[in-house]
């Protein structure tokens, strides 16, 4: 999970990039970076931390020029290395280029090994560096052709914005794991800028209009002089990642995307509300109040309330001041970490039978603590309802899930889980119901006939590509 952004032909390019990244901050808080193109040279500013921490006014005097791309990075294991902070930039075949990547290349290990054998050196641990080496090894003359050459061998989630001296490119892999939208920002007279962004909420903040999604398997290129936008379809037959299916990450809808973003033609907030309604139909509960685990559970809980007729209430208050580091008391305050973020409203929950709605359960530890807090605050019953199916398999497409054996749903039956969480009842949204909702309106408004549209591998273990199949099954035993 990361956020990417690009803007062309705007004298405010790096500042707009900053705003775009700010709007995408929920997609990555570990590091942020912007590269601008000024008089043929790339200028780079990046660092660890939030967008507002990394950038101050002085950075923008070093980010001149009318074209810029940016990146916010999610915290992952290999993350500490400064060499991994994106956008990456490098001289490739005599030209300096910059590149911002959201996703995960699942056949990275074998590609890296092959490249190293042919003399490639790697300065960081991010899989994005593989792409730079593939670019450098293409024999094509045109950059766009080199880029196609480099993209074809990649399996997994690859959503990119690339900046060269003459063009900006945006790409989504054939499975379409991660969203990437095209926007247009009108300037004076006939002037306009193209915007590429992970989510539409970034278009909103900079005042740009949504044009369309970048399609799965599509490479969109903007000529930085003419501003002409050109679409290249990748040769699917040779593409390593082509499975014949599209495979959008369903968790973008359930959890990741901002509720005000429109994902593949549907508003995330409305989808979540409908998922909550489905959840109410599938798993009713004898309760007095529906409450959410904020913020992600809120639209789900509202939907549950609407469909069930049980009133919604704000039973848990979230503290938004929580920062990165925190001083802990040396003496035990029970459930301290959860309390820092969430506090029950005693007067609301006391004596009530509660439906508590959350988006998902991964390890189960936080859910158990929240239920404990609610019971201490006087809740009579706690009926846990989850807006997605049980997560039983790790994700290899950019989401930082724990290993398979740490997933509570992998280890326990529904009854055991309910017991472990100390819930009075527990219900997950069935996968069919989830599919029904997210595929209801098709993608981009039109139904993709006969095509599977979403990746559900974390629920059912069905990975699209051989790379993920190998990662998901290290012991060689069928999952």
Under rule CB under 8 A, which residues in 112-171 are in contact with a copy of itself? 112-113, 116-123, 132-133, 135-137
Angle in degrees, CA 157, 160, 165, rounded to 5: 155
Rounded to the nearest whole angstrom, what is the least distance from the CB of residue 77 to a copy of itself in the complex?
13
Tell the residue number behind the tokens 């900046």, with chain if given: 163
What does R_g of the chain's alpha carbons equal in angstroms? 23
Structure tokens at 333: 């305050």
Is the CB of 56 or the CB of 226 nearer to a copy of itself? 56
308: nearest Cα among 287, 324, 293: 287
Whether the bond into 295 is cis, omega within 30 of 0:
yes
CA–CA distance, 213 with 443 (Å, rounded to integer) = 9
Give 184-192's long-range contacts (Cβ < 8 A, gap of 24+).
Answer: 184/208, 184/209, 184/211, 185/7, 185/10, 185/16, 185/209, 187/9, 187/10, 191/9, 192/9, 192/227
Does 71 engage in binding with a copy of itself (CB under 8 A)? no
226 touches 214 (CB < 8 A):
no
Does 366 engage in binding with a copy of itself (CB under 8 A)? no
Does 260 engage in binding with a copy of itself (CB under 8 A)? yes
111 touches 151 (CB < 8 A):
no
CA–CA distance, 300 with 459 (Å, rounded to integer) = 19
CA–CA distance, 458 with 225 (Å, rounded to integer) = 44
- DSSP 8-state secondary structure symbol assigned to residue 312: B
Q: Which of 145, 223, 328, 419 binds a copy of itself (CB under 8 A)?
A: 328
Rounded to the nearest whole angstrom, what is the least distance from the CB of residue 195 to a copy of itself in the complex?
12
CA distances from 472 to 73, 156, 165, 404, 463 (A): 24, 13, 40, 9, 8
| Contacting range for a copy of itself; rule: CB under 8 A; set: 103-111, 274-282, 345-353, 393-401 | 345-353
Rounded to the nearest whole angstrom, what is the least distance from the CB of residue 209 to a copy of itself in the complex?
11
Does 314 engage in binding with a copy of itself (CB under 8 A)? yes
Is the CB of 118 or the CB of 449 nearer to a copy of itself? 118
Structure tokens at 168: 């900006």
Q: Which of 39, 141, 190, 320 binds a copy of itself (CB under 8 A)?
A: 320
What part of residues 11-50 is at the interface with a copy of itself (CB under 8 A)? 11-12, 15-16, 18-19, 22-23, 25-26, 44, 46, 50
Does 348 engage in binding with a copy of itself (CB under 8 A)? yes
| Contacting range for a copy of itself; rule: CB under 8 A; set: 311-319, 425-433, 447-455, 459-467 | 311-319
237 touches 444 (CB < 8 A):
no
What part of residues 187-226 is at the interface with a copy of itself (CB under 8 A)? 187, 201, 204-207
Paired strand residues for 158: 103
Does 327 engage in binding with a copy of itself (CB under 8 A)? yes
Is the CB of 133 or the CB of 169 nearer to a copy of itself? 133
Is the CB of 89 or the CB of 177 nearer to a copy of itself? 89
Q: Which of 323, 474, 476, 478 binds a copy of itself (CB under 8 A)?
A: 323
Residue 20 φ/ψ, nearest 5 degrees: -60, -45
Structure tokens at 412: 């326990």
Does 380 engage in binding with a copy of itself (CB under 8 A)? no
Number of other residues whose CB lies within 10 A of the CB of residue 169 = 24
Query: How many CA atoms does the CB half-sphere of 272 hold within 13 Å?
Result: 30
Does 340 engage in binding with a copy of itself (CB under 8 A)? yes
What part of residues 237-256 is at the interface with a copy of itself (CB under 8 A)? none
Rounded to the nearest whole angstrom, what is the least distance from the CB of residue 336 to a copy of itself in the complex?
8
CA–CA distance, 208 with 27 (Å, rounded to integer) = 20
| Contacting range for a copy of itself; rule: CB under 8 A; set: 297-305, 417-425, 442-450, 460-468 | 297-305
175 belongs to the catalytic site:
no
Q: Which of 2, 17, 175, 458 is an active site residue?
A: 2
Is the CB of 207 or the CB of 244 nearer to a copy of itself? 207
69: nearest Cα among 143, 186, 131, 161: 161
Is the CB of 137 or the CB of 411 nearer to a copy of itself? 137
Is the CB of 22 or the CB of 397 nearer to a copy of itself? 22
What part of residues 384-443 is at the interface with a copy of itself (CB under 8 A)? none
Rounded to the nearest whole angstrom, what is the least distance from the CB of residue 331 to a copy of itself in the complex?
5
| Contacting range for a copy of itself; rule: CB under 8 A; set: 213-221, 313-321, 448-456, 460-468 | 313-321
Does 446 engage in binding with a copy of itself (CB under 8 A)? no
Does 89 engage in binding with a copy of itself (CB under 8 A)? yes
156 touches 144 (CB < 8 A):
no
Rounded to the nearest whole angstrom, what is the least distance from the CB of residue 93 to a copy of itself in the complex?
6
108 touches 130 (CB < 8 A):
yes
Q: Which of 77, 94, 225, 477 binds a copy of itself (CB under 8 A)?
A: 94
Paired strand residues for 292: 357
Number of other residues whose CB lies within 10 A of the CB of residue 311 = 11
Is the CB of 355 or the CB of 468 nearer to a copy of itself? 355
Q: Which of 244, 286, 311, 402 binds a copy of itself (CB under 8 A)?
A: 311
Active site residues: 2
């Amino acid at each position: 999970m990361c956020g990417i952004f690009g803007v062309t032909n705007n004298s405010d390019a790096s500042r707009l990039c900053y705003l775009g990244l700010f709007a995408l901050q929920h997609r990555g808080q570990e590091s942020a970076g912007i590269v601008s193109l000024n008089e043929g040279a790339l200028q780079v500013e990046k660092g660890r931390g939030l967008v507002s921490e990394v950038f101050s006014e002085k950075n923008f005097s070093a980010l001149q020029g009318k074209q810029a791309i940016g990146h916010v990075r999610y915290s992952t294991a290999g993350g500490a290395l400064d060499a991994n902070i994106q956008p990456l930039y490098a001289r490739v075949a005599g030209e300096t280029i910059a590149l911002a990547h959201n996703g995960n290349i699942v056949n990275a290990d074998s590609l890296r090994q092959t490249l190293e054998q042919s003399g490639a050196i790697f300065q960081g641990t991010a899989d994005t560096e593989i792409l730079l080496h593939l670019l450098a090894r293409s024999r094509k003359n045109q950059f766009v052709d080199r880029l196609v050459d480099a993209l074809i061998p990649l399996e997994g989630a690859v959503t990119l914005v690339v900046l060269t001296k003459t063009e900006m490119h945006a790409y989504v892999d054939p499975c379409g794991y991660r969203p990437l939208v095209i926007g247009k920002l009108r300037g004076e007279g006939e002037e306009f800028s193209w915007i590429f962004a992970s989510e539409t909420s970034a278009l909103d903040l900079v005042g740009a209009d949504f044009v369309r999604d970048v399609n799965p398997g599509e490479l969109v290129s903007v000529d930085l002089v003419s501003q002409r936008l050109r679409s290249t379809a990748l040769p699917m037959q040779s593409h390593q990642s082509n499975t014949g299916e599209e495979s959008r990450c369903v968790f973008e809808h359930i959890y990741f995307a901002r509720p005000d973003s429109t994902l593949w033609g549907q508003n995330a907030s409305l989808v979540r509300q409908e998922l909550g309604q489905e959840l109410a139909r599938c798993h009713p509960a004898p309760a007095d109040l529906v409450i959410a685990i904020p913020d992600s559970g809120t639209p789900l809980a509202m939907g549950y309330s609407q469909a069930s007729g049980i009133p919604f209430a704000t039973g848990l208050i979230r503290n938004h001041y929580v920062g990165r580091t925190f001083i802990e008391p040396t003496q035990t305050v029970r459930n301290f970490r959860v309390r820092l973020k969430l506090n029950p409203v005693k007067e609301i929950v006391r004596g009530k039978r509660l439906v508590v709605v959350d988006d998902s359960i991964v390890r189960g530890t936080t859910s158990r603590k929240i239920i404990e807090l609610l019971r201490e605050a006087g809740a009579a019953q706690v009926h846990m309802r989850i807006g997605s199916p049980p997560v039983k398999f790790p994700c290899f497409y950019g989401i930082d899930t724990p290993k398979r054996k740490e997933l509570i749903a992998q280890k326990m039956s529904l009854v055991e889980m309910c017991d472990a969480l100390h819930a009075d009842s527990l219900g997950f949204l069935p996968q069919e119901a989830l599919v029904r909702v997210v595929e209801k309106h098709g993608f981009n408004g039109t139904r993709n006939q006969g095509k599977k549209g979403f990746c559900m591998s974390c629920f059912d273990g069905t990975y699209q590509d051989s790379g993920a199949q190998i990662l998901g099954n290290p012991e060689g035993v069928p999952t």
